[in-house]
Amino acid sequence: SKCEKSNKVHRPSLMIFSLPISFELENEVILNSANKLLPLMAEGVQKLAVSGADFIVIPCNTAHVLINELRETSGVPILSIIEETVKEIKKTGIRKVGILATTETIKRKLFDNILSKAAIDLIKPNNLNQKKISKMILEILKRKHKGKIRTELIKIVRKLVENGAQAIILGCTDLSLVLNEKNTGIKLFDTTDILANSAVRKLDGE
């Protein structure tokens, strides 16, 4: 969207295509495959492009499984939450980073290659903890037991740190609802905040 500036206050014109999906489909996307989202997301991307969007952001890590297909049909640039996050990590000089994300994000290695190209090692949870993370993300979506979920996620964060992680990627936009740097005691790369800041910089013409 275009951004008007008045006394250094940014007032962008925003267009939103909301994509509500059933919990059953969300469960499949998180645990198994995001492929069923493609026609729904392609429709949204095309509607935004036709409506005059200058660029598009998708505030969901797992949905970036489909970004190449969406970029091919969008007609306008799509910022990648994955690419923007890795740019921020690279700026810090951190060389080993852990990740909390959905099973689909991990399975499809959304962060692996781009981190590797930046000479950054990715430290992943073991299989048991990965299953726990996806289950807890689904529970967050249902607004259940945030205190218990926070405690369990912090245990997994500590295990990643024990395995060498210098910081943690919150690779699911729902995780920031329960985790922050204060309660984890470690540097976090919140992909939601990073994407929002990247969008603002793009609006500024950077």
Q: Which two tokens stand for residue 171?
A: 């690779």
The residues carrying an active-site annotation are 60, 172
Residue in the block written with tokens 């036709």:
50
- Extended beta strands in the chain, E state: 3-6, 9-12, 56-57, 78-79, 96-100, 121-123, 167-170, 188-190
Sorted by sequence, the CB contacts under 8 Å of residue 89 that are 6+ apart come out as 97, 115, 118, 120, 167, 169, 189
Sorted by sequence, the CB contacts under 8 Å of residue 169 that are 6+ apart come out as 85, 89, 97, 98, 99, 100, 101, 111, 188, 189, 191
